[in-house]
Amino acid sequence: MNKNFPILAREGWPFIGLTLSLLILSILFCPTLVVILFLIITIFVIQFFRDPTRLANTNPNEVTSAADGRVIAIEKTRDPFNNRDSLKISVFMNVFNVHSNKAPISGKVTQKIYKPGSFLNAALEKASSENELCAITIKTHDKKIITSVQIAGLIARRILCYASEGETLSKGQRYGFIRFGSRVDHYLPVNSKVKVKLGQKVKNTITTLAEI
C-alpha cells in the first residue's frame, strides 16, 4: 500500500519556518559565523522533520516497525496494557531518525492509553514504564493483538497520536509523531517469529520485526 505524505512532516512546518526566517535575518544583518550557525540549525531541523513516502509490506502476518531507529530490546515479557504474555521489540530513535510513526499492522484500534511520566533517556529499559507514553492496541482481522507504544525521551517532550479508539488502521498508515528523540515499544503475540536482531537499524513501514 503506497501512502503519500509530505516530504516534510506537517508537525515541523512552524519550526522550519522559524529557522528559515532566522537564517534570512542573519544573512542580512549578522556576521558570517552567526550565519553559519543558523544554517546548521536550519539543516538539522529540516532533516529531523523529513517524512519520506514508503511502500508498505502487505503481508498480513508480518508486523513492520512503527518507527525508524535501532532495535534495543527483544524479550518475552508482560504487555502491561493488555495484561498478557508477549514478545516485546523496542526501537530507539535518535535525533537523526525519521520521527513519524506508522501503523505496524492493519487492524482496529481497540484501546488508546495516555500516561504522563518522566523524561528519562529513552534507551534505558525503565523508560518503558516510567516515561510519558501513549499506547494503542490494534486487533487484526484474525483477532491477534499488537500494542504499539510511543515513549517520550530525554529530549522528546511531545508525543502526538492521531489514532482513535474504534478507528481501523492500514499497515503503514501514519498515526503519530514524536519530537526530538524517543522510543517505540511493540508488544506482539508471545509465539511470534522474530525477524530482526539486537542493534539492527530499522525503518518504519519497510522493516519486518516479526511474523505473527
Local structure of 136: helix, strand or coil: strand
CATH assignment of 58-211?
2.70.70.10
Tens digits of residue pLDDT in 128-183: 777 889 999 999 999 999 999 999 877 656 789 999 999 999 999 999 998 766 89
**Model confidence at 2: pLDDT above 50:** no
Which whole number is the average pLDDT over 73-90?
96
Would you list the domain boundaries of the chain?
A: 2-48, 58-211
For the annotated catalytic residues, the residue numbers are 182
How many C-beta atoms lie closer than 10 Å to residue 56's C-beta?
Answer: 19
The pTM (predicted TM-score) of the whole model is 0.84
Local structure of 50: helix, strand or coil: strand
Grid cell listed for 131 = 516515561
Tens digits of residue pLDDT in 5-62: 567 778 878 888 999 999 999 999 999 999 999 999 999 888 888 888 888 888 989 9
